[in-house]
Amino acid sequence: MTQIDQTTLWIVIFGLGLGSFLLRFTFLGFVGDRELPAWLLRHLRYTAVAILPALVGPLVVFSGENGDTDPTRVLAAIATVAAGMITKNVFAAIGAGALTLFASVYLLG
Amino acid sequence: MPITTPKSAYMAGLRDGAPFMLVAGPFALLFGVLATEAGLSVFEVMSFSLVVIAGAAQFTALQLMQDEAPTIIVLISALAVNLRVAMYSAALTPYLGRAPLWQRACAAYLLVDQSYALSHGKFEAEPKLSVPQRMAYYFGTCTLVMITWFGCSYLGAALGTALPQNLPLDFALPIAFLSMVAPMMRTVPHLIAAAVALVISLVAVNIPYSLGLIVAGLAGMMAGAQAELWLKGRDT
């Protein structure tokens, strides 16, 4: 691990801050109350249910060292999804996932 | 309790956002700890968390800077991880687009997975809400999460390496995202969108600079939209 260069760090902090704000502001700020086309709205309905699994999938499947699969992470992920789909409750899903993770790390890890 | 005023909408948002303190907390704590270990000062950690407010992107940037990646690659990769917020922004625009510009600018600054997921779900379920009520609900969902985000970033930076090493904090993010997305699986197109995105994300994991995430997300959205059209066509 090497020391991060100060100049690089501040360029990244402010570049990332500005870039993130522009990403967040683009539609809300510049598009405003103009009507969006039906096909676009139809796609946007599925943003969260597409992006979030795509973000999590590799983190779950390649969760071990060197990109292996860590069974404790897979079990925790399955428990989270199952509890979330059955109860429709975020709290229950997080609880089930965290408990399963701690239990399986204790038993398997 | 029905939402009748912006104040009750704000309180409803506050209530719905509260569980996510448990999610944002460990993650911010972890960022504080890891960033401190990478040599950042408390001031630098706090600036990072205040200016960027994007967990996954911050971790990406931190990792790449330690790998001595070129600055431009650090920025592009972290922004690609965060590209989904542009889609969130687009998805919220039909509901919040008529609010005053300064409110939309504040909302944009605070736009994260939690505020998007909760608000979009609420606005869809209760289409009769007025724009001020929607904005109030939105800021309600942000309040506790943001306080926790900044507070725990500070705590993590201050604690530094004092935390026990064997806590599986690395998996707080996946559990958080899964708990948010599981209750959203209301219809067959939602399930199809998630399944397609998941499969593509695993296949495309080697596409550089996190662009696999964007490809998988777009594929999932297209699959969901197509499935919706097919199912509608079959009904009529």
Give the tens place of pLDDT for each residue, A27-49: 888 776 677 788 987 887 888 78
CA B89, B90, B93, B99 dihedral sign is positive
Q: Quick: pLDDT tens for A50-91.
A: 887 887 888 899 887 777 899 999 999 999 999 999 998 877
User: Bigger pLDDT: B171 or A104?
Assistant: A104
Neighbouring C-beta atoms of residue A105, cutoff 10 Å: 18
Q: Answer with the one of B169, B194, B221 that is the final residue of a domain.
A: B169
pLDDT at residue B15, rounded to an integer: 95
pLDDT at residue B169, rounded to an integer: 64
Q: Does residue B176 lie in a domain region?
A: no
φ/ψ bin of A89: left (φ > 0), alpha (ψ from -120 to 50), beta (otherwise)? beta
Burial of B235 (0-12, 13-18, 19+ CB in 10 A): exposed
Give the CA angle between residues B63, B66, B68 to the nearest 5°: 115
Q: Which residues of B184-194 are buried (b: 16+ CB within 10 A; e: fewer)?
A: bbeeebbbbbb
Q: How far is CA B82 from CA A4, A17, A97, B6, B89, in A?
A: 22, 11, 25, 30, 12
Q: Answer with the one of B122, B139, B169 that is the final residue of a domain.
A: B169
B216 and B112, same domain (yes or no)? no
B156 and B55, same domain (yes or no)? yes
Map out the domains of chain A as residue ranges: 1-34, 37-108
Chain B stretch 46-75, residues whose beta carbon is closer than 8 A to a beta carbon of chain A: 47-48, 51-54, 56-58, 61, 65-66, 68, 71, 74-75
Residues of B in contact with A102 (CB under 8 A): 168
CB spacing of A8 vs B222 below 8 angstroms: no
Q: How far is CA B227 from CA B84, B88, B192, B216, in A?
A: 22, 21, 7, 16
pLDDT at residue B4, rounded to an integer: 76
Residues of B in contact with A64 (CB under 8 A): none
B14 and B131, same domain (yes or no)? yes
Q: What is the DSSP letter of B163?
A: S
Q: Is B233 on the interface with A (CB under 8 A)?
A: no
- The nearest CA of chain A is from the CA of B44 a distance in Å of 8
CA B39 – CA B34 distance, rounded (Å): 9
Domain coverage including residue B233: 185-236
Q: Which residues of chain B have pLDDT under 70?
A: 1-2, 161-170, 173, 209-210, 235-236
CB spacing of A17 vs B196 below 8 angstroms: no
Q: How confident is the model at residue A5 (pLDDT cuts 50, 70, 90)?
A: confident
CA A59 – CA A37 distance, rounded (Å): 34
- Token pair 């991880």: residue: B81
Q: Answer with the one of B119, B143, B169 that is the final residue of a domain.
A: B169
Q: Does residue B109 lie in a domain region?
A: yes
B165 and B191, same domain (yes or no)? no
B27 and B143, same domain (yes or no)? yes
pLDDT at residue A1, rounded to an integer: 46
Helix (H) or strand (E) holding B135: helix B131-159
B79 and B161, same domain (yes or no)? yes
Neighbouring C-beta atoms of residue A44, cutoff 10 Å: 22
B160 and B231, same domain (yes or no)? no
CB spacing of A36 vs B48 below 8 angstroms: no
Residues of B in contact with A72 (CB under 8 A): 168
B134 and B53, same domain (yes or no)? yes
Residue A11 has pLDDT above 80, yes or no: yes
Count how many domains chain B has: 2
Q: Quick: pLDDT tens for A12-26.
A: 999 999 999 999 998
